[in-house]
Amino acid sequence: MTATLEMPHVTACTATSCAYNHDGCHAYAVTINSSAACGTFLSLNAKGGLDVVAQVGACQRQDCVHNADLECRAPSITVGSTSADAGCLSYQAA
């Protein structure tokens, strides 16, 4: 039997140029890469995604206090505009 965990939700995203961000992030799941940037960020004029609130599917930022086995264990995260398009504003160094 495989145990499943509730994935943290993206409670807010201020990266307004992302195709998944329209009144919140609507990607099914986002990936946070090793520089704490949102790897799911997609700059297009079209809006996409699902009628869901995004979840954190994977986190590659191993030095984050919320990262356990490359999975985010924060209750929720915030994504925001950064110099690299969008990043995880909930990142905290371990």
Is the pLDDT assigned to residue 1 strictly greater than 90? no
pTM of the model: 0.87
The domain total for the chain is 1
Whether 1 maps to a domain, the answer reads no
Is the pLDDT assigned to residue 84 strictly greater than 80? no
Instruction: Please name which of 28, 14, 22 lies closest in space to residue 90, comparing C-alpha atoms.
Output: 14
Whether 57 maps to a domain, the answer reads yes
Average pLDDT over residues 67-81: 94
Whether 36 maps to a domain, the answer reads yes
**Residues near 11 by beta carbon (within 8 Å), at least 6 away in sequence:** 53, 76, 77, 78
CA–CA distance, 52 with 56 (Å, rounded to integer): 13
Range of the domain at 19: 9-88
32-57 per-position pLDDT tens digit = 999 999 999 999 999 999 999 899 99
What is the predicted pLDDT for the residue at 6? 82
**Lookup: tokens for 60:** 């590659």
Whether 82 maps to a domain, the answer reads yes
Quick check: 90 and 10 in contact, CB under 8 A?
A: no
